[in-house]
Structure 1
Amino acid sequence: MTKKKIWIIDDDSIYQIIVTKIIQKTDLFSSISSFYDGKDGLEALISVIENKEALPDIILLDINMPVMDGWEFMEELVKLKFLINKQIDVYISSSSIAIEDKNNSKTYPAILGYLSKPITNNDIELIASND
């Protein structure tokens, strides 16, 4: 299996550290990048596209964040689809138990799953093997 690039977009810096360690422990990814909110993640994505760098394969996306939340990020990602030459698999990673959030996640084809925090080694292995 080819190692993939994964991005974490989440405003909780402690959670970013924990999930990064879990991801590193699996040794399934070639690189891990973290962003504080949807706006930071979106700006990084635009920069990667403009510089013709390697896009992420997977994004772990929190819903509730300042500046730009996960849903706003997804709206912008849809608008950029014509510039993206590969599929980016998005997994919502949230502590929200609201049924509206789970239902809303099903309206975006790029969102492949909804993971409840805390994410486990099993979750990471499952998303890494999803081809």
Structure 2
Amino acid sequence: MKLNICIIDDDLVSQFATQYCIEQYDGDFNITSCGSAEEGLMYCAKLIENKDELPNIIFLDLVMGDMDGWAFLENLKLIAEGHRQPEVYVLSAFTNSKDRAIAKENPLIAGYFDKPLTNTSLNKVFEKKLSK
């Protein structure tokens, strides 16, 4: 099964590192990278408009420019109502216990990982999805 993955991160180095880690993993992936939360939201809105499915998985940075990861999630929830919601995994360079606590309580977030993404983290994400 091919998984559609979206990386939303305003740091190009982090974007590249996340994409590279996923590409090295044994699986069939279609990866799209977005350089801001706004770009990620426009990408998802366009998918909905074209009656395409939203990504299976989104790797989301929380700390970004004009719109942060939390605002992205709230907006995604609004525009994607009635559609299958993607699994969202937060990627953060800063270990923030407050963000972790909020992420644990947020039903839109499937997990929280520190940057850079690792093979061990991907095992947790993909072990169920790739066995289907």
TM-score past 0.5 threshold:
yes
Cα deviations by residue, 1:74-119 (Å, 9 ceiling, x for unpaired): 11112124242x2310000001211110011123212011101111
Q: Which runs of 5+ in 1 are unaligned?
A: none
Q: How far did 1:69 drift?
A: 0.7
Q: How far does residue 9 in structure 1 lie from its aligned partner after superposition?
A: 0.3
Counterpart AA for 2:125 = I
**Correspondence for 2:103:** 105
Measure, in 2, the Cα distance between the counterparts of 1:24 and 1:117. 16
Match for residue 72 of structure 1? 71
Write the letter of the residue equivalent to 2:100: K
Aligned residues: 129
Aligned residues of 1:28 and 1:125 also touching (Cα < 8 A)? no
Report if aligned partners of 2:87, 2:110 keep a CA contact under 8 Å in 1. Answer: yes
1:39 aligned partner, one-letter code = E
Query: Residues 76, 66 of structure 1: CA spacing in aligned structure 2 closer, same or farther, 3 A cutoff?
Result: same
Which residue of 1 is the match for residue 60 of structure 2?
A: 61
Task: Give the aligned partner of residue 88 of structure 1.
Answer: 86
Is the CA contact (8 Å cut-off) linking 1:4 and 1:128 kept in structure 2? Answer: no
Partner Cα distance (2:127, 2:29) in 1: 14
Please state how far the C-alpha of 1:126 moved relative to its aligned partner: 1.9
- Answer whether contact 2:54 2:85 (CA < 8 A) is retained: no
TM-score (norm 2): 0.90
CA contact (8 A) 2:58 2:86 kept: yes
CA deviation vs aligned residue, 1:10-49 (integer Å, no higher than 9, x gap): 0110111111111111132420000111110000000000
* One-letter amino acid of the counterpart of residue 89, structure 1: E
Give the secondary-structure state (helix, strand or coil) at the position aligned to 1:5: strand
Report the Cα offset of residue 123 of structure 1: 1.2
Instruction: Quote the Cα distance in structure 2 between the aligned partners of 1:59 and 1:20.
Output: 12
Q: What residue is the counterpart of 1:12 in the other structure?
A: 11
Runs (4+) of structure 1 exceeding 4 A deviation are none
Taking structure 1 as the reference length, what is the TM-score of the superposition? 0.91
Percent identity among equivalent residues? 36
